[in-house]
Copies of this chain bind each other. A is one copy, B any other.
Amino acid sequence: MASASSSLMLFAADSSSTARLVSFNTTNKLPNGVVQFKRFISPQFGLQNAKTIITHVSSPSSYSVASMVTEASAKVIDGKSVAKDIQGEITAEISRMKNEIGVVPGLAVILVGDRKDSATYVRNKKKSCESVGIKSYEVCLPQDSREEEVLEHISSFNNDPAVHGILVQLPLPSHMNEQNILNAVCIEKDVDGFHPLNIGRLAMRGREPLFVPCTPKGCIELLHRYNVDIKGKNAVVIGRSNIVGMPAALLLQREDATVSIIHSKTKNPEEITKQADIIIAAVGQPNMVRGSWIKPGAVLIDVGINPVEDSTRPRGYRLVGDICYEEACKIASAITPVPGGVGPMTIAMLLSNTLTSAKRIHNFN
């Protein structure tokens, strides 16, 4: 992001990078002395395309106002870089495992139907597997497959000693019973960690899940790698989905945070978030968490990846998180960007879970 061009920086960049770049480049002046900030807030919050135009900025002292207004004090939690480090660690472990016991971890992915986004995710997972030395197995079934066919493939992977992790790409076609299919994955290979037995163990003190779901595990890993204290802190999770919000709350509680869970039925969510030392937002609402919702110095983990219209982009949209980065980065002490925050961590944790599984099955430490 630091390499964004000047024109991008001021007119077409993510609101996030705009704010940060300006604060890091307070002596930059445009020839006409105009600094223009576009705020990309989604329509439901009524601030779409609101503009702040500061004109006739002619002296360094006047610039300091612009700098103050847009100052980004938050450290950027660089998920892309952390994920790269983790993949490096995994590569080394896999190489050691192969050398010492001749085992290569294997991950099987089952994709049903022709959703473009799902196909992209599966392709990325495959690429990441290859990059760390995990052998990937892939089954692609047509949209109108029968549930039994999926179950047969799961059963075959359950019994295949070369496969240590099985992942069914969601969502499944609507004629299939997701619960039946996910329950069919044997718990020792449930690298997604979605099996209720895993979730139960995650919830219970004194029990250990075999696998922790990848995205929430990635959130906590980011906090750990950035040395964010969790114990005794007030943590708020926004969203209570089975795959992110709920397990994220359970993980934070396991780390002795005081956890509150906010969701669509919560009245005045900002009153609760304002008490939070740590916020994990996983609700899928672009820019929902405003600056006024945030306690100064809070650490913000943004799981949301929401496309919003942006005619200045070649594709006509850009991705924003659940947290309004432009406002939040001035108040928080640390924040994940979108993209480049939690996203890359999810795949890294999937690789990590697959390695863990292979180690456990082969009793390798």
What residues of chain A have their CB less than 8 Å away from a CB belonging to chain B?
Answer: 179, 195-207, 231-232, 234, 240-242, 246, 250, 253, 256, 258-263, 265-267, 269, 271-272, 275
Picked from B205, B258, B271, B272, the residue with its CB within 8 Å of the CB of A265 is B258
Picked from B204, B231, B246, the residue with its CB within 8 Å of the CB of A205 is B246
Picked from B179, B201, B258, the residue with its CB within 8 Å of the CB of A262 is B258
Picked from B201, B203, B234, the residue with its CB within 8 Å of the CB of A250 is B203
Residues of B near A234 (CB, < 8 A) are 272
Q: What are 20 pairs between A and B in contact, CB < 8 Å? A: A196-B203, A197-B197, A198-B200, A199-B199, A199-B203, A200-B200, A200-B201, A203-B250, A204-B242, A205-B240, A231-B265, A232-B266, A232-B267, A253-B263, A258-B260, A258-B266, A258-B267, A258-B269, A271-B275, A272-B275
> Is the Cβ of A206 less than 8 Å from the Cβ of B179?
yes
Q: How far is the CA of A253 from the CA of B204 in the complex (A)?
A: 16
Interface of A is mostly: mixed
CB distance from A267 to the nearest CB of B (A): 5
Residues of B near A258 (CB, < 8 A) are 260-263, 265-267, 269, 272
CB distance from A264 to the nearest CB of B (A): 9
Q: How far is the CA of A68 from the CA of B227 in the complex (A)?
A: 51
Residue of B nearest to A258 (CB): B266
Residues of B near A267 (CB, < 8 A) are 232, 258
Residues of B near A202 (CB, < 8 A) are 200, 203
